[in-house]
Amino acid sequence: MAYEGKLVVKWSTREGDLMFHYPSKPDGHFAYSTLNTPLTEFLDEMEKRGYDRKSFRMSIRRKDQKP
């Protein structure tokens, strides 16, 4: 699976919102509670500056996972 062992945050065109994919619930809950509001505000500001929020993607791989 593309997200195996990764915490991924990306814009979902279908949902019209950020989507969080995560390897474990505690990691997902931490990422959502820490990042959701600041990222939404960041994307709002970047859109005002001419960027496309639909292209937003961020990921981090666990240390024990190979690239």
Assigned domain for 1 exists: no
Domain count, the chain: 1
Assigned domain for 53 exists: yes
Task: Identify the pLDDT of residue 65.
Answer: 78
Separation between Cα atoms, residue 62 and residue 55, nearest integer Å: 23
Residue 62 has pLDDT above 70, yes or no: yes
Task: Identify the pLDDT of residue 1.
Answer: 60
Query: Taking the alpha carbons of 43, 52, 32, 15 in that order, is the dihedral positive or negative?
Result: positive
Assigned domain for 49 exists: yes
Assigned domain for 12 exists: yes
pLDDT tens by residue, 3-57: 888 999 999 999 999 999 999 999 999 999 999 899 999 999 999 999 999 999 9
Range of the domain at 55: 6-60
Confidence of residue 63 (pLDDT cuts 50, 70, 90): confident
